[in-house]
């Protein structure tokens, strides 16, 4: 790893030059030549120092010897001029080498030849054939092999040095140039051909050998350097072509190098990078972490993969993951290399997958998986801090009607709005989840008393009571809520949810739009509910249903105006089952459609039979379920039943609850108009419990308002119920609608309703629901009582 770091460090400057537009190879060659020349210049200074020291020592010895200082004035001048030329040449190179560019290539042969000529002059001035200066030829040849790349040119330099020396000896032998006398050397030696030949051969051969050997070794060195350079260039090319983000920085965070992928990912160009620090591109929240990792890298610790956030040009955030390493051998300034990859898309994909796995795609709320996880956390905190946890199970009432009539797109939008309202009713620490269909669950944490749960549940009911506007529709929806508490109702998560579900069904059985806390008695009801649901699917085929009838009485004349058909189920094991128990099951399972049609057909057929028996004309009233009301073929089904039974349409009354028609008022208007057009009497059941306004009633084609029994029950003792009942009667009279009160059980209630001009009444005061076989006898007795 450290070798790799050193290699990266060596590449940094070269790569930066490539980034700035200079050809890497040419730039490196020029710089390399400059370095060689500078090394030669320094070597010359050192050599001159050695020669100067030697010359001074030799001059001292000679001055004390019998020879004395033997140099002639011409020798001294020649040596001085040669020395000045060498020093001037060397000094000029030393000072100006940094400013030279491509001209440096042409300078090398010039200075080598100049060195050979100066050495030849110095050899002549120091004795010619007897001179001790000839080994400097070898130094110049080594210099040539160091500076000149081509081997043949080095050989030529070696040969040229040998030729210069040979030419000098020939000229001195033939006295073309004067001989320079030297101590210890006889004058005849300069004219001895054999000596001169052997001396020249020795110098020439040594010079040639040095040229060959020097060029060979330098060729090896250059080849190895070229291999290293090519390897570095390949690595540099690899770094720039790598998909990973690679950078090199100093300990202070100054950028030394970044590759193309780094620039492309972060959007900075080289000019910007020169002015930036590494910490400038790290997100402020991650700077302290990165600084600590850099310090650890410089101390040589083993680092784990680092994940951080970088700020790209323009403020984009990029999440990266990678490693840091540091090289600081030989006391050099530490250089930190970082190799990382952009994992932004991967992180986004992971977050998306996590969200898909833990959140509902429609509403964005947590799904069942995340809900159970939050519930587990809430349970752990509750155990630790001695708090309670409440689990609320919500199911929207009659939501299926909206889906079936207006379509799933409208239903989906309604669910989104419902989710927003429910979430707005709880605290941030609580969890609202959608676990499927129209079912929601809530985890309420840090509960100190049950009243807090009641308050939040009531808040949810009130929030949902406000109409929803979806596209062009005004929709009304309610919910039933079941509640369990931890630890009172158990410590198993699935058990808590299951018991909340049981409590929710109990809330539906209590009339919907309310909340119920779980009690152990509800388990019995749950078992019974399962039995009922199983049996209900066979009840119609097994002829277990029957229809009871309860009369409606005119307040003034006391005559029977209609008989309301009430469905009963004679279960083979449970006996007579109340509609409040099995009608919600029939609606949930979809069995209400065939059962409702059976009731309608039975009631119409029975009314036709009463007419055939000579009984007075009266309407038969049939309750229409919300699911039936939303049927697309409702009108066709009713028309077919009337035709099959032969009953006139004006003798049929359909009772539709206020909450059903208010779920989708626009749709209700069109259906009610169609029913009115064929002559069917329309009554709004349970009036006062829903959301009807005077504006809505004016749009509906109805004949009768039926006051809910919850208001009638306490009209004698409750001023509020009395006021509501009076207002409903007055509103009905002002709209020319009949008003009927159900649940009349006392003479006081009847008297109150009569005084306030209620048109009709219904209740146990006159009759309980009875089988069809008893109706004829009841009507005859009632007629006799009225006549008396």
DSSP category for residue 323: E
Domain boundaries, the chain: 2-237, 242-349, 359-519, 533-787
Q: Quick one: average pLDDT of 663-686?
A: 86
Q: Quick one: average pLDDT of 464-486?
A: 91
Nearest to 556 by CA among 728, 786, 743, 783: 786
Q: What is the pLDDT of residues 340-378, one digit of tens each?
A: 988 888 888 888 888 888 899 999 999 999 999 999 999
Q: Name the fold adopted by 242-349.
A: Beta-Lactamase (3.30.450)
* pLDDT for position 21: 42
d(CA 538, CA 515): 31
* pLDDT for position 451: 93
* pLDDT for position 333: 75
Nearest to 422 by CA among 501, 486, 481: 481
Residues sharing a CB contact under 8 Å with residue 620, sequence separation 6 or more, in sequence order = 549, 562, 563, 564, 565, 603, 604, 606, 607, 647, 651, 652, 653
Q: Which H helix or E strand runs over 686?
A: strand 681-687
* pLDDT for position 654: 94
d(CA 739, CA 741): 7
Q: What is the pLDDT of residues 380-393, one digit of tens each?
A: 999 988 899 999 99
Higher pLDDT, 45 or 410: 410
The Cα-based distances of 565 to 104, 170, 427, 547, 584 in angstroms read 116, 148, 47, 6, 18
Q: What is the pLDDT of residues 190-236, one digit of tens each?
A: 778 887 888 888 888 888 888 888 888 888 887 887 787 777 777 77
User: Contact, 326 vs 335, CB < 8 A?
Assistant: yes
Indicate the range of 102-116, 136-150, 432-446, 476-490 predicted with least confidence. 102-116
Q: Quick one: average pLDDT of 52-69?
A: 72
Confidence of residue 104 (pLDDT cuts 50, 70, 90): low
| Percentage of residues in the chain having pLDDT higher than 90 | 30
User: Contact, 427 vs 390, CB < 8 A?
Assistant: no
Q: Quick one: average pLDDT of 525-545?
A: 81
Nearest to 404 by CA among 443, 438, 359, 440: 438
Query: Whole-prediction pTM value?
Result: 0.57
Q: What is the pLDDT of residues 601-626, one digit of tens each?
A: 999 999 999 999 988 899 999 999 88
The DSSP line for 711-750 is: HHTTTTT-HHHHHHHHHHHHHHHHTT-EEEEE---SHHHH
**Backbone CA torsion sign across 155, 157, 161, 164:** positive
In this model, does residue 134 exceed pLDDT 90?
A: no
CATH superfamily of 533-787: EAL domain (3.20.20.450)
Domains 359-519 and 533-787 share a fold: no
User: Domain 359-519 has what CATH class?
Assistant: alpha beta
Q: What is the pLDDT of residues 6-30, one digit of tens each?
A: 444 545 544 544 444 444 556 666 7
Q: What is the pLDDT of residues 311-339, one digit of tens each?
A: 998 888 999 998 888 876 555 678 888 88
């Amino acid at each position: 790893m450290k070798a790799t770091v050193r290699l990266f460090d060596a590449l940094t400057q070269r790569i930066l030059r490539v980034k700035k537009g200079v050809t890497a190879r040419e730039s490196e060659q020029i710089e390399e030549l400059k370095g060689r020349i500078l090394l030669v210049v320094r070597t010359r200074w050192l050599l001159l120092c050695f020669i100067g020291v030697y010359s001074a020592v030799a001059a001292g010895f000679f001055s004390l010897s019998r020879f004395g200082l033997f140099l002639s004035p011409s020798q001294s001048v020649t040596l001085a001029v040669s020395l000045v030329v060498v020093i001037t040449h060397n000094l000029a190179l030393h000072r100006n080498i940094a400013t030279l560019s491509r001209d440096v290539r042409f300078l090398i042969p010039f200075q080598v030849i100049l060195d050979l000529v100066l050495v030849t002059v110095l050899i002549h001035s120091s004795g010619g054939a007897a001179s001790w200066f000839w080994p400097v030829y070898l130094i110049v040849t080594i210099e040539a092999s160091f500076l000149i790349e081509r081997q043949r040119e080095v050989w030529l330099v070696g040969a040229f040095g040998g030729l210069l020396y040979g030419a000098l000896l020939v000229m001195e032998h033939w006295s073309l140039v004067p001989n320079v006398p030297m101590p210890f050397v006889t004058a005849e030696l300069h004219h001895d051909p054999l000596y001169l030949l052997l001396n020249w051969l020795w110098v020439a051969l040594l010079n040639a050998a040095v040229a060959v050997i020097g060029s060979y070794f330098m060729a090896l060195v250059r080849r190895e350097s070229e291999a290293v350079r090519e390897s570095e260039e390949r690595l540099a090319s690899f770094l720039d072509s790598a998909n990973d983000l690679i950078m090199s920085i100093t300990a202070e965070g100054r950028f030394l190098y970044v590759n193309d992928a780094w620039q492309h990912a972060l959007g900075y160009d080289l000019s910007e990078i020169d002015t930036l620090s590494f910490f400038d591109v790290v997100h402020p929240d991650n700077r302290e972490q990165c600084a600590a990792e850099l310090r650890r890298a410089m101390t040589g610790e083993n680092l784990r993969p680092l994940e951080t956030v970088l700020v790209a040009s323009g403020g984009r955030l990029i999440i990266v993951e990678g490693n840091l390493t540091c090289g600081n051998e030989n006391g050099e300034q530490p250089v930190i290399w970082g190799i990382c990859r952009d994992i932004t898309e991967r992180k986004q994909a992971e977050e998306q997958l996590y969200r898909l796995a833990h959140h509902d795609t429609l509403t964005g709320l947590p799904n069942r998986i995340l809900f159970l996880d939050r519930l587990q956390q809430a349970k752990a905190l509750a155990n630790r801090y001695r708090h309670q946890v409440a689990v609320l199970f919500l199911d929207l009432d009659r939501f299926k009607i909206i889906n079936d009539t207006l379509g799933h797109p409208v239903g989906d939008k309604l669910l989104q709005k419902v989710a927003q309202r429910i979430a707005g009713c709880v605290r941030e620490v609580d969890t609202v989840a959608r676990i499927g269909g129209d079912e929601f669950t809530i985890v309420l944490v840090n509960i100190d008393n049950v009243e807090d749960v009641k308050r939040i549940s009531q808040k949810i009911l009130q929030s949902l009571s406000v109409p929803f506007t979806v596209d062009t529709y005004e929709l009304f929806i309610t919910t039933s809520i079941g509640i369990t508490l931890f630890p009172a109702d158990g410590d198993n998560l699935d058990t808590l949810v299951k018991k909340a579900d049981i409590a929710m069904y109990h809330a539906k059985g209590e009339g919907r739009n309310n909340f119920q806390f779980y009690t152990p008695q509800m388990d019995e009801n749950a078992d019974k509910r399962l039995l009922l649901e199983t049996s209900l699917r066979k009840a119609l085929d097994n002829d277990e249903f029957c229809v009871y009838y309860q009369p409606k009485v005119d307040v003034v004349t006391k005559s029977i105006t209609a008989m309301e058909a009430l469905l009963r189920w004679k279960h083979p094991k449970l006996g007579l089952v109340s509609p409040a128990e099995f009608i919600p099951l029939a609606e949930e399972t979809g069995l209400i459609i065939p059962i409702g049609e059976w009731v309608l057909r039975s009631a119409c057929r029975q009314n036709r039979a009463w007419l055939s028996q000579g009984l007075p004309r009266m309407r038969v009233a049939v309750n229409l379920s919300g699911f039936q009301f939303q049927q697309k073929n409702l009108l066709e089904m009713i028309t077919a039943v009337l035709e099959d039974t032969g009953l006139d349409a004006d003798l049929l009354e359909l009772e539709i609850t206020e909450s059903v028609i208010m779920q989708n008022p626009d749709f209700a208007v069109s259906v009610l108009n169609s029913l009115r057009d064929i002559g069917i009497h329309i009554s709004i059941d349970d009036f006062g419990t829903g959301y009807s306004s005077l504006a809505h009633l004016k749009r509906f084609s109805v004949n009768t308002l039926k006051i809910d029994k919850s208001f009638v029950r306490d009209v004698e003792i409750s001023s509020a119920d009395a006021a509501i009942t009076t207002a409903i009667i007055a509103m009905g009279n002002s709209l020319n609608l009949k008003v009927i009160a159900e649940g009349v059980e006392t003479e006081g209630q009847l008297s109150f309703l009569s005084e306030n001009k209620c048109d009709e009444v219904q209740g146990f005061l006159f009759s309980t629901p009875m089988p069809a076989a008893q109706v004829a006898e009841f009507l005859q007795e009632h007629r006799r009582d009225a006549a008396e």
